[in-house]
Amino acid sequence: MLVIRRRALVATALACGIGAAAVALAAALWAGRQVRAATAAVSSARSVQPASTVIWRVLTSQPDVAVTFDDGPDPQNTPRVLATLQRYHAVATFFVLGSQAEDYPALVHGEVAEGSEVCNHGYSHALLTGKPAAFIRADVAQAAAVLRQLGVARCRLFRFPYFASDATARAVVAALGYRLVAASVDPQDWRGGSGQRIVRWVFEHVRRGDIILLHDGGGPRGATLAALGPILQGLAERGLHAVTVSQLLSSAG
């Protein structure tokens, strides 16, 4: 069974580089969404979740967590992320941008080759709130087409840019066959600073079933790269297995 948690949308939106007005709009939409989402979560507590429900974390009896990376692939960051995952025999879920995947196909293939999963984060990282259904459908489908052309097995997970969605966006993306995935542990790695800060934040919050948000695109990610090894090591020391989001969902219940 899945549960929903409130996240810091504004901080995430700033991480993705949108302006203050857009942040305010997204935050307002977010507030409305939370009410609807909470209602949906309660009403479906003993039934099947609506397809348009956003998944924040997974209730599971397994000692599993999912590490996720947004906004890549990136020629500076992604190879180092992959090397660290390999060193710790870990896998992750990459929510890639179609535009980036188009530019760096070898990195996408590297992610797949390591056993990680590659999922859809849209083509252009456009804010999908307040947009016509046709716009949303085209952006998501364009990213899917890029991944299909690269021979990537279809991942049925989608993460909204800026974690921002409205009812139209959720309905459109769900109708395309995607489950909607956010994250429950957000150390705001985009703020930079020290890797230790990110590591400390993660281990103050993480527990089984969590989805951890990191970024391998969108700018220099030195702090994230410094934090990743200690995060993977710390998870292992706590008996937590880093799995893909799809694997985490398959262990729900």
Closer of 58 and 214 to Zn ion (Cβ):
214
Window contacting Zn ion (CB under 5 A); options: 10-18, 34-42, 48-56, 134-142 = 10-18
Distance CA 188, CA 250 (A): 27
Return the structure tokens found at 61: 């009896």
Q: Which residues are catalytic?
A: 70, 215
For residue 175, the minimal CB distance to Zn ion (Å) is 22
Closer of 16 and 55 to Zn ion (Cβ):
16
For residue 92, the minimal CB distance to Zn ion (Å) is 15
* Alpha carbon of residue 247 to chain centroid: 14
Distance CA 202, CA 206 (A): 6
186 binding Zn ion? (CB under 5 A): no
* Residue whose tokens read 């008996």: 239
Closer of 71 and 111 to Zn ion (Cβ):
71
Closer of 144 and 240 to Zn ion (Cβ):
144
For residue 24, the minimal CB distance to Zn ion (Å) is 18
For residue 161, the minimal CB distance to Zn ion (Å) is 5
The site string for Zn ion over 148-177 (x = CB under 5 A, - otherwise) reads -------------x----------------
Window contacting Zn ion (CB under 5 A); options: 1-9, 12-20, 205-213, 232-240 = 12-20
Return the structure tokens found at 192: 């930079």
Q: Do 227 and 208 meet the contact criterion of CB atoms below 8 Å apart?
A: no
139 binding Zn ion? (CB under 5 A): no
DSSP label at 94?
A: E
Closer of 71 and 139 to Zn ion (Cβ):
71
70 binding Zn ion? (CB under 5 A): yes
Residues in the chain: 253
**Nearest alpha-carbon partner for 78 in 50, 48, 105, 54:** 105
Chain residue at closest Cβ approach to Zn ion: 70
216 binding Zn ion? (CB under 5 A): no
Distance CA 203, CA 247 (A): 21
H or E element at residue 213? strand 211-215
Distance CA 110, CA 171 (A): 32
**Nearest alpha-carbon partner for 224 in 196, 205, 245:** 196
71 binding Zn ion? (CB under 5 A): yes
Contacting positions for Zn ion (CB under 5 A): 16, 70-71, 161
